Amino acid sequence: MKIKITADSSCDLSRALIEKNNFAILPVHITLGDKEYSDARDISQDEFYKFLKENPVLPKTSANNPVEFEEFFREQLSSDGGYDAIIHFAISSKFSTLYQNALTAAQLFADKVFVIDSLSLSTGVGLQMLYAKELVDKGLSAAEVFEKVKERRGAVQASFVIDKLDYLHKGGRCSGVAKFSASLLQIKPIIVLRDGEMKVGSKLMGKFEKIVPKYVDYILLNFPNIDRTRCFITHTPIKNEIVDGIRERIKNIFDEVIETDAGCTVGTHCGPNTIGILYYTK
């Protein structure tokens, strides 16, 4: 059975990983001021973060509609000589209508398109895509891969630590009082994905460079029983030494450590100086 794995661009996988695994990505829409772009197609991550830095207006992301998904699925099914099925991954349905719109379009393709609500975001989705690819390579059917990936969704540890609450505040996810207090006290929140939603796992206090190691220790302590296969370090613009420090801390824990840049979804809500480690637990 020939199976194609697809996702929306909020999965934050690098171009190299996408090409290596023959994934197909549907770019979400980004509005910067009065112009609309296709994520990672019409605008680079550098251009996106440059806009974020220079403009007071918060970028907006919008979901692809069912017609766009229908065209995308039809194109992918006929690509590379044709596929028997598609397994499509969507950012958590708690964040966007991307899942529902993909599901609506999938109904037009009988049993050929399987849509998974990842209950995650960023490379928390990417982890599930790579797991699905491993199952496909083992010869499992699309229906079997679909069920196994869904069963394991709850084992994905996806989290980030944020330097400033400005972007969460602009996006309506943080009150003005909380933002003011956090600024005064240099509070850096740890954002953890639980049941498909962003929750505050803990609050660290101090300069960002100093608290990042504490964030890593907090996550490893609170999400043990680690699947050592791989871990993503995913981040918005940040100092290289901070990334290197995390890599050094976890290199003997995981068999593979993959660094990726966070795209527009994480960037819009969290801003620069945001970094996370994402991995499966057993």
Cα first-last separation, the chain: 28
**Token output for 127:** 């982890």
Residue 242, pLDDT score: 97
Question: Could you give the C-alpha distances from 171 to 10, 14, 58, 60, in angstroms and in order?
Answer: 17, 26, 7, 9
pTM over 0.85: yes
Tokens of 210: 């100093």
Count Cβ atoms within 10 A of the Cβ of residue 50 and give its class: 0-12 exposed, 13-18 middle, 19 or more buried: middle
pLDDT of residue 56: 77
Identity of the amino acid at 270 = C
Q: Do 109 and 205 belong to one domain?
A: no
pLDDT at 168: 62
Distance of alpha carbon 257 from alpha carbon 102, whole angstroms:
31
Last residue of a domain, one of 131, 153, 175: 153
Is residue 148 domain-shared with residue 162, that is, in the same domain?
Answer: no
Same domain, 161 and 120: no
The structure tokens listed for 183 are 């600024």
Could you give the CA distance from residue 99 to residue 88 in angstroms, rounded to a whole number?
A: 9
Mutual angle of helices 66-78 and 98-106, in 10-degree steps: 60
Same domain assignment for residues 179 and 121: no
What CATH number does the domain containing 204 carry?
A: 3.30.1180.10
Query: Which amino acid does the sequence have at 61?
Result: T
The parent domain of residue 175 ranges over 155-281
Give yes or no: residues 116 and 48 share one domain. yes
Q: What is the SS3 assignment for 125?
A: helix
Last residue of a domain, one of 118, 134, 153: 153
User: Contact 214/247 with Cβ under 8 angstroms?
Assistant: no
pLDDT digits (tens, 9 = 90+) for 41-77: 788 778 888 888 888 777 888 899 999 999 999 999 9
> Could you tell me if 24 and 120 lie in one domain?
yes
Which pairing describes strands 3-8 and 85-90: parallel, antiparallel, or unpaired? parallel
Helix axes 208-222, 240-250, angle to 10 degrees: 30
70/199 same-domain check:
no
Whether 38 and 96 map to the same domain: the answer is yes
CA distance 122 to 165: 19
Q: Give backbone dihedrals phi and psi of 254, rounded to 5 degrees, phi first.
A: -115, 145
pLDDT, residue 144, reads 98
CATH code assigned at 141: 3.40.50.10170
pLDDT for the residue numbered 170: 56
Given this model, what pLDDT does residue 185 score?
A: 46
147 and 203 housed in the same domain: no
Residues of the chain with pLDDT under 50: 171-185
Q: Which residue has the tokens 């918005």?
A: 236
Residue 188: exposure state from Cβ atoms within 10 A (0-12, 13-18, ≥19) = buried
Q: How many domains in the chain?
A: 2
Cβ neighbour number for residue 252 with a 10 Å cutoff:
7
Are 95 and 145 contained in the same domain? Answer: yes
**Residue whose C-alpha is closest to residue 121's, from 41, 47, 61, 187:** 61
CA distances from 242 to 136, 235, 236, 237 (A): 36, 10, 12, 11
